[in-house]
Amino acid sequence: MAYLVEIAARAERDLTALFERIDAQNSRAASRWYAGFKNAILSLEDLPYRCPVTPEKANLRHLLYGRKPNVYRVIFRVQEKQKKVEILHIRHGARRSLTDNLR
């Protein structure tokens, strides 16, 4: 059964900042990469449990996208009762571990 993928405001800001950082508006290659990234996020509607639990919190999962050194983490929560995947945060994979500022 399909899940609804909902992107939180924070994750939306993360996506906007990433779009600007890679200059996807002016680069065809960056634009293709960004489109693939968004498609990977939306693919969570089918099999969100294919992604591992984050080491920081047992109730969160993460999707990794990209190749080293440009790997990005999509941190999300699966709400089984609502059949919803909530995208909470998007960050570069090389950044430090999450803190408790995520819900």
Domain extent listing, the chain: 4-92
Taking residues 2-17, report their average pLDDT: 95
Q: What homologous superfamily is domain 4-92 in, according to CATH? A: RelE-like (3.30.2310.20)
Taking residues 9-29, report their average pLDDT: 93
Taking residues 39-65, report their average pLDDT: 95
Largest CA distance in the chain: 41
**Range with lowest mean pLDDT among 47-61, 62-76, 88-102:** 88-102
pLDDT in the model for residue 68: 85
Q: What residue type is assigned to position 86 of the chain? A: E
pLDDT in the model for residue 66: 87
Whether residue 96 is predicted with pLDDT greater than 70 in this model: the reply is: no
